[in-house]
Amino acid sequence: MPAWPTISFIILTVNPHLSGTMPLSVHQERDAVYRLDTTDYRIKMSVRLFSPYLGTRLAFHGDANPGKELRYSNNGDASSCIERFVGALATVTFRFQPRRPGVPAAATFREVAKVLAQSEGLDNRPPYVREQRLANGVGSDIQAFGYDESNVAESEREALRAESLARMWRVFRQELFLNGDEKPFAVVEWKHTLNRIEVVRVTGRGVAASP
């Protein structure tokens, strides 16, 4: 079994200008929309799924400045870029709308992600906890799973891709909190493979899904 230089990250970006974040090198495959409710807010969770990366740069552009390249690395560093990413990508946008007049705009958004299961050979990952202030009631996150083949000899890349595709996967649970609440407004289970990032299930008040 090869020693995979695994990349698996979630980046919470709470910036309205990034709500339309798109990768530069792959095509969007489909959208899924989930609608949830709390006592004070209606919540729309939009998931964008993309075709797999096969050794291309992991970079993005946003609505505010489409000509500017946005970069993220395995540790969330925006100054560096993964040059030859092999794997899957999804972006998620959350929009929080007050249910009635007088309810203030949603202020903060927190997520706690924990690995539930994974394939043999992957490094153990501690829980990921991140809280940020929302901007205009909008927050988003970027999820990626795969590896960087930059340091793999060109003659070995095809074989490593085939073996990794057959073996690499991870399932995790993402708990989502609003405004410092102790109870999550939603719990999302995800499955990450090299071909796809997919939602396994969403639980929460008033969950409704549309393709």
Which two structure tokens, joined as six digits, stand for 143?
A: 């999820």
Coil, strand or helix at 199: strand
Cα-flanking dihedrals φ and ψ of residue 66, to 5°? -60, -25
Range of the domain at 50: 6-205
In angstroms, the CA 91 to CA 32 distance is 11
1 in any annotated domain: no
**192 beta partners:** 170, 197
Question: Rounded mean pLDDT of 34-51?
Answer: 92
Flag whether 102 is in a domain: yes
Tens digit of pLDDT for each residue in 43-60? 999 998 888 999 988 877
Tell whether 211 is covered by a domain.
Answer: no
Write down the pLDDT at residue 18: 45
Sequence-distant (6+) residues with CB within 8 A of 144 are: 7, 8, 9, 58, 72, 85, 87, 88, 89, 197
Residues paired with residue 10 on neighbouring β-strands, in sequence order: 143
Averaged pLDDT of the chain: 81
Q: What is the pTM of this model?
A: 0.82
How many domains does the structure of the chain reveal? Answer: 1
Q: Which residues pair with 89 in a beta bridge?
A: 144
The C-alpha atoms of residue 185 and residue 177 are separated, in whole angstroms, by 6
Is 210 contained in some domain?
no
pLDDT in tens, 99-137: 999 999 999 989 999 999 999 888 888 898 988 889 889
